[in-house]
Amino acid sequence: MRLEPQRTEVRRPAQRTHAAGLAQAALPRWRAQTRRLFAACSAGLAATLLAVGLVSLPTPALAQAGAVARGLPDFADLVEQVGPAVVNIRTTAKGKTARNGAEGGPDEEMQEFFRRFFGVPVPRQGPRQGPPGQPGQAEEEPQQVPRGVGSGFILSADGFIMTNAHVVEGADEVTVRLTDKREFKARIIGADKRTDVAVLKVEASGLPTVKLGDVNRLRVGEWVIAIGSPFDLDNTVTAGIVSAKARDTGDLLPFIQTDVAINPGNSGGPLINMRGEVVGVNSQIYSRSGGYMGISFAIPIDEARRVADQLRDKGRVVRGRIGVQIGEVTKDVAESLGLGKAAGALVRSVESGSPADKAGLEAGDIVTRFDGKPVEKWNDLPRLVGNTTPGSKSSITVVRRGSTRDLSIVVAELEAEASAKPAVDNSPAPKAGPKPATFGWQGLTLSELSADQRSELKIKGGVKVDAADGAGARAGLREGDILLAVANTDITDLKQFESVTAKLDKSKPINLLFRRGEWAQYVVIRPSK
């Protein structure tokens, strides 16, 4: 047995008495603070557990927990209201499958797994044995092969349904299944690839329908839910908030960005606000893995409805066009042109004989307004023009070499699914003529254009870049480029270019309009520091 030495603490009586008195006085206050802290933590934990459904409380405690958690959204009523009008869409296409194949084995179970949960069509493959025509040889026969699974929602009680165009693309047969397990064969009324909107029709009556909302009332940060069939799991509900509005990810559409979980099979399903209104059509996700990564996109319902109405009336979408290729106006270019802010659409080329050509638009113009509406971003212009009725006369405001001009233009019709010009132009440089005199400026070696070269390029003036180095090369210019304007002044020839550049303030940025192949673009040369 080991004995520990006795420890003796020596404290002055006055100090001991004073410390004990302080501790005694502070004890009630400390106990009260501890109780309040414990109650707050317990209430917060209880609210969290109740919200995710991990625990339940006895009836007397529900009122107190409800008071703590009353700020959390409850989507149950929304789901009961809108859910019956959301449908599962399955598509099949004509394909070939082998007969005499082994069925019911592990392979078939794996194929069924992929078909149901990933929408991957995996036709059955039988064993290939013996020469053709002999018993045991797998023969191919036409058969409807599953293509995939999507979602949609019912617009009208008589069976019109909205979904994504990519859900029904290439489908020979479309089947729509309601939440009450009724199934209908659907007809494709029309599909528009540009906006990814399609309209289907089933022969039925008295169907539940959705209510369409106003996207203009939608606010960033508000709660929304999605209902659809991810991985063929009917009427799956996910929730999140609106992350951004008017997100530019497409050519013609400003998308609604959310953090609602969207996966394969959700495409075409509704995005619903807390009033039970459809405000978008779930269409895309941002992903590096193929699965949901926290960013999803929906087509605004006002845009989708405009397209759906035309599909129902005409079976196709009619859009306007003016015949220009456009690009972004950068901050540097906007400042050098005196625009004040980076807004508008830069005209990079004008199609010969197009409405823009007839109206007098030129490469290098900055379109700031169309039909009285401002062009804030470059891709606002195709949306505004596309929504204009072909044949109508519209006004267009452009900034050209620092001055504003108002033009009148008659909008033409955009061809159905016309292919766009490539983003990178690989047109050959203009044919070389007799070697002219050259001039060096900002690292650029420039030469005169011959009359034949100007005629071939359909331009009135300009000078050719023979070599690029220094500041000119850093700005992005290269051999073969044609300089059309410098510091908001059109260039007619090399002599005039020398005269204009001699008067420039070399301590300030200088904008140059140049042409490369069929495209025109601005660059800014900055002074060396």
- pLDDT given at position 458: 82
Say if residue 166 carries a ligand binding annotation. yes
Using CA atoms, how far residue 222 sits from 225, 240, 247, 296, 458, in Å, is 10, 8, 16, 15, 53
- pLDDT given at position 35: 60
- pLDDT given at position 396: 95
Beta strands in 202-323 (DSSP E): 211-212, 223-228, 236-248, 254-258, 270-273, 277-285, 296-300, 320-321
pLDDT in tens, the chain (529 residues): 433 333 333 333 333 444 445 445 555 565 565 566 555 555 555 554 444 454 454 555 545 544 444 577 889 999 999 999 999 999 988 765 544 443 344 444 444 444 444 444 444 444 444 444 455 454 555 566 666 789 999 999 999 999 999 999 988 999 999 999 999 999 999 999 989 999 999 999 999 999 999 999 999 999 999 999 998 898 999 999 999 998 876 557 789 999 999 988 999 999 999 999 999 999 988 777 666 788 999 999 999 999 999 999 988 899 999 999 888 888 888 888 888 788 899 999 999 899 999 999 999 999 999 999 999 888 889 889 988 989 999 999 999 988 899 999 999 998 865 433 433 344 444 444 445 567 778 888 888 888 888 888 888 888 899 888 888 888 888 888 998 988 888 888 888 888 888 888 877 888 888 988 888 888 888 876 5
CATH number of 438-525: 2.30.42.10
Say if residue 265 carries a ligand binding annotation. yes
Say if residue 294 carries a ligand binding annotation. no
Using CA atoms, how far residue 515 sits from 274, 288, 333, 364, 402, in Å, is 51, 36, 15, 9, 18
- pLDDT given at position 156: 95
Say if residue 196 carries a ligand binding annotation. yes
Superfamily (CATH) of domain 320-413: PDZ domain (2.30.42.10)
Which are the catalytic amino acids? 166, 196, 267
One fold for 81-125+140-201 and 320-413: no
Domain ranges (residues) in the chain: 81-125+140-201, 211-314, 320-413, 438-525
Superfamily (CATH) of domain 211-314: Trypsin-like serine proteases (2.40.10.10)
- pLDDT given at position 154: 97
- pLDDT given at position 418: 43
User: Which uninterrupted H or E stretch holds 518?
Assistant: none
Phi, psi of 222 (to 5 degrees): -80, 155
Is 81-125+140-201 assigned to CATH 2.40.10.10? yes
